[in-house]
């Protein structure tokens, strides 16, 4: 039943995404601009990491794509709440978990698609990385967007107005981006900043993807990255499902 | 006749920043099978909150209720299978076609794809939506939208249909059509209809029995004529005066002393 319901909800929202092709491509614009206009600045800088500057930057941009994109997913649930769509689905016997999973899997699909576009562009710009590493990078994007979109929907169900939602998300996304070393590796940071960044879960993800991009699949970074990504996803989906079950309270 | 909905002491308190708000304090009611029940009350009386509890959208903070034998607290899944609900706002995506919404709804009620397609066509025929199947829901008129909302709620042939202010915003013609539709549902399918409304003419014309709520409790209940007799002073009283008398917001009785001269 869960599979049937998840597939149903997923299909509905994937068709919705496919209807707005413009939005589908637009999401990739910000990281693409970074790639084009920021990436070339790094080529000759010592970044304190292995591999070329592209192998350092692209993993960061992939997670940035997920971070900014998926955190805003909750905007759509605010609109759907206003239209009554969420309640109409919640009075049917459809699984509550599926109401969330169908949506976040759609988001993961969209962001992985955008990540593929971004990596293709990066290859044109000069990125060279092992295929397995690139695929692992996509898996991290998928897990991250699944988690963040779940939390974003949960928040969207709670706050109910875009006026409250927007500032809250901005307050989370900017510090997360800066403190996780997405743009430049934290290896460059003074100790206090490096220590602080270890309290931001995305730090572990970006370290893991950077390792994957230089072919190190069994490093400690990779282990921590996987643990944090999977643990965060489990937590986020649990929170999200709880909200879909009890919303309105 | 057997009771299809029974609620005892149903209550819901919301915790807000400015302290607890008792939206519904204590609702006792019984709805018989095949009855059209009008659920009336001033704004903020707790009508929608009651409806949202009876449809499993909101957990009661007190009391208990059963719908078609299924307990709200212990078997919400059972309640969902036997009831249909149309919210005030409806519940369709403006960018999706009528056909897709109807089919998806069928699938949410666990019909197979083929069954859902057949059921969508049936519902469209029954609710006069066949010509509109390939339109986006944004392109429907108010009356057409309402018929679609109701079609969606009827997908699984529910025993009980909950309608929250179904005719608000409709023109007189569409309202009359909707009344006919509600009566037809009851007469042909034996569906019990639980509807809230602000239009007293609607309650008078459509409902077999009325329940008036005020400040979160049942203030009066009975057939429209019994209520008129008991609270309006005569069977010929208007339901408007009766309603105002029940909720204590009416004109002062004729023999009352003037407050100031």
Q: Domain boundaries in chain A?
A: 2-246
Q: Is residue B37 part of a domain?
A: yes
In chain A, residues with a C-beta closer than 8 Å to the C-beta of B100 are 15
Tell me phi and psi for residue A241, to 5 degrees.
-65, -40
pLDDT given at position B62: 92
Q: Does any domain span residue B165?
A: no
pLDDT of residue B252: 45
Give the residue from chain B lying closest to A84, CA to CA. Answer: B91
How many beta carbons lie within 10 A of that of residue A175, not counting itself?
12
A245 shares contact with chain B (CB less than 8 Å): no
Kindly state whether B77 is in contact with chain A, defined as any CB-CB distance less than 8 angstroms. Answer: yes
Average pLDDT across chain A, whole number? 90
Of B14, B108, B110, the CB nearest to A89: B108
Task: Answer whether A8 sits within 8 Å of B108, measured CB to CB.
Answer: yes
Q: Is A249 in Cβ contact with B90 (below 8 Å)?
A: no
Is 60 exceeded by the pLDDT of residue B253?
no
The DSSP string of A45-92 is S--SSSS-HHHHHHHHHHHHHHHHHHHTTHHHHHHHHHHTHHHHHHTS
Percent of chain A residues topping a pLDDT of 70: 99
pLDDT of A18-56, one tens digit each?
A: 888 888 888 788 888 888 888 888 887 877 777 888 898
pLDDT, position B69: 93
**Inter-chain Cβ pairs, chain A and chain B, closer than 8 A:** 68
Chain B residue with Cα closest to A5: B108
B223 to chain A nearest CA, in Å?
30
* Percent of the residues in chain A that have a pLDDT greater than 90, as a whole number: 56
Query: DSSP 3-state assignment of B224?
Result: helix
Does residue B168 fall inside a structural domain?
A: no
- Please state, in angstroms and rounded to a whole number, the distance separating the CA atoms of residues B187 and B185: 6
- Taking only the tens place, the pLDDT of each residue in B93-133 is 999 999 999 999 999 999 999 999 999 999 999 999 999 99
Global ipTM: 0.86
Same domain, B63 and B97: no
Q: Give one DSSP letter per residue of B112-163, joined into a string.
A: -HHHHHHHHHHHHHHTT-GGGTTSBGGGS-HHHHHHHHHHHHTTT--SEEEE
The pLDDT assigned to B56 comes to 92
Structural domain that includes position B105: 92-157
How would residue B261 be classed by pLDDT, with cut points 50, 70 and 90? very low
Residue in B14, B87, B109 closest to A92 by CB: B109
Question: What share of residues in chain A are helix, strand, coil (percent, to 5)?
Answer: 80, 0, 20
Q: Report yes or no: A82 at the B interface, CB cutoff 8 Å.
A: yes
- pLDDT exceeding 70 applies to what percent of chain B? 95
Residue B112 domain flag: yes
For residue B70, pLDDT beyond 90:
yes
Note the Cα A217 to chain centre separation in Å: 21
The whole-angstrom distance between A5's CA and the closest CA on chain B is 7
Is a pLDDT exceeding 60 seen at residue B256? no
Q: Which two tokens stand for residue B242?
A: 């009766």
> Is B89 touching A (CB cutoff 8 A)?
yes
Chain B within 8 Å of A93 (Cβ-Cβ)? yes
d(CA A167, nearest CA chain B) in Å: 20
Task: Look up the CATH number of the domain holding residue B62.
Answer: 3.40.50.300
- Residue among B56, B93, B100 minimizing CB distance to A91: B56
Q: pLDDT: is B133 or B247 the higher one? A: B133
pLDDT in tens, B203-225: 888 999 999 999 999 998 998 88
The answer on B97 and B153 residing in a single domain is yes
Residue that the structure tokens 């969420």 belong to: A86
Query: Residue B249 — pLDDT band, cuts 50, 70, 90?
Result: low
Cβ neighbours around A134 below 10 Å, total:
21
pLDDT, tens digit (0-9, with 9 covering 90-100), for A123-178:
998 899 999 999 999 999 999 999 999 999 999 998 878 899 989 998 988 888 88
Query: Which of B14, B80, B95 lies at the smallest CB-CB distance from A91?
Result: B80
Mean pLDDT score, B16-28: 90
The number of beta carbons lying within 10 Å of the beta carbon of residue A140 is: 22
Domain count, chain B: 2
Which candidate in A1, A76, A93, A248 is best for mutational testing of the B interface (most B CBs within 10 A)?
A93
Residue B17's pLDDT is 86
Report yes or no: A22 at the B interface, CB cutoff 8 Å: no
**Does the beta-carbon distance from B59 to A5 stay under 8 Å?**
no
For residue B205, tell me if it sits in a domain. Answer: yes
DSSP states along A173-199: HHHHHHHTTSSS-GGGS-HHHHHHHTT
**According to the model, what pLDDT value does residue B103 have?**
96
Which of A84, A93, A94 is opposite residue B91, by nearest beta carbon? A84
From chain B residues 119-158, the ones with a CB under 8 A of any chain A CB are: 152
| Residue B10 placed within a domain | no
How confident is the model over B188-208, as pLDDT tens digits? 999 999 999 888 888 888 999
Residue B243 distance to chain A (closest CA, Å): 30
Please check whether residue B144 lies inside any domain of the structure.
yes
**pLDDT at residue B260, rounded to an integer:** 52
What are the Cα distances from residue B46, in Å, to A24, A83, A237, B210?
A: 42, 21, 33, 15
Structure tokens at B56: 């499993």
Q: Examine residue B73 and state whether it is found in any structural domain, yes or no.
A: no
Q: Hey, is A138 helix, strand or coil? A: helix
**B107 interface with A at CB cutoff 8 Å:** yes
């Amino acid at each position: 039943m869960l599979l049937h319901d998840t597939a149903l909800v997923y299909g509905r929202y994937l068709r919705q995404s496919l209807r707005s092709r413009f939005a589908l491509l637009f999401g990739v614009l910000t990281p693409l601009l970074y790639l084009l206009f920021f990436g070339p600045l790094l080529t000759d800088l010592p970044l304190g990491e292995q591999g070329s500057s592209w192998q350092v930057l692209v993993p960061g941009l992939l997670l940035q794509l997920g971070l900014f994109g998926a955190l805003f997913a909750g905007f759509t649930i605010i609109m759907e709440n206003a239209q009554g769509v969420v309640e109409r689905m919640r009075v049917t016997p459809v699984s509550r978990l599926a109401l969330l999973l169908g949506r976040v899997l759609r988001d993961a699909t969209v962001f992985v698609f955008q990540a593929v576009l971004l990596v293709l562009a990066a290859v044109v710009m000069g990125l060279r990385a092992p295929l397995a590493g690139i695929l692992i990078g996509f898996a991290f994007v998928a897990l991250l967007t699944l988690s963040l979109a779940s939390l974003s929907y949960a928040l969207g169900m709670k706050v109910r107005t875009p006026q409250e939602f927007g500032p809250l998300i901005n307050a989370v996304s900017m510090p997360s981006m800066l403190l996780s070393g997405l743009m430049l590796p934290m290896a460059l940071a003074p100790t206090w900043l490096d220590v602080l960044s270890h309290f931001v879960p995305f730090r572990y993800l970006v370290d893991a993807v950077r390792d994957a991009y230089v072919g190190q699949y069994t490093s400690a970074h990779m282990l921590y990255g996987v643990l944090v990504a999977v643990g965060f996803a489990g937590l986020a989906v649990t929170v999200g499902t709880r909200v879909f079950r009890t919303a309105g309270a | 006749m057997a009771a299809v909905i029974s609620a005892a002491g149903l209550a819901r308190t919301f915790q807000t920043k400015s302290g607890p708000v008792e939206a519904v304090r204590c609702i006792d009611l019984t709805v018989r099978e095949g009855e059209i029940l009008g659920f009336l009350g001033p704004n903020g009386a707790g009508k929608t909150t009651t409806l949202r509890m009876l449809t499993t959208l909101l957990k009661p903070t007190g009391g208990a209720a059963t719908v078609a034998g299924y307990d709200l607290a212990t078997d919400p899944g059972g309640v969902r299978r036997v009831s249909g609900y149309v919210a005030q706002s409806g519940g369709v995506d403006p960018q999706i076609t009528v056909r897709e919404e109807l089919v998806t709804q069928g699938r949410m009620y666990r019909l197979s794809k083929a069954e859902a397609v057949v059921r969508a066509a049936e519902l469209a025929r029954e609710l006069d939506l066949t010509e509109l199947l390939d339109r986006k829901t944004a392109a429907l008129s108010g009356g057409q939208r309402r018929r679609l909302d109701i079609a969606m709620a009827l997908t699984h042939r529910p025993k009980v249909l909950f309608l929250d202010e179904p005719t608000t915003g409709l023109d007189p013609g569409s309202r009359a059509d909707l009344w006919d539709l509600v009566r037809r549902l009851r007469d042909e399918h034996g569906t019990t209809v639980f509807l809230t409304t602000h239009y007293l003419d609607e309650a008078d014309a459509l409902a077999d029995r009325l329940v008036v709520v005020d400040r979160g409790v049942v203030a009066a209940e009975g057939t429209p004529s019994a209520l008129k007799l008991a609270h309006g002073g005569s069977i010929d009283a208007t339901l408007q005066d009766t309603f105002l008398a029940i909720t204590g917001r009416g004109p002062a009785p004729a023999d009352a002393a003037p407050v100031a001269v």
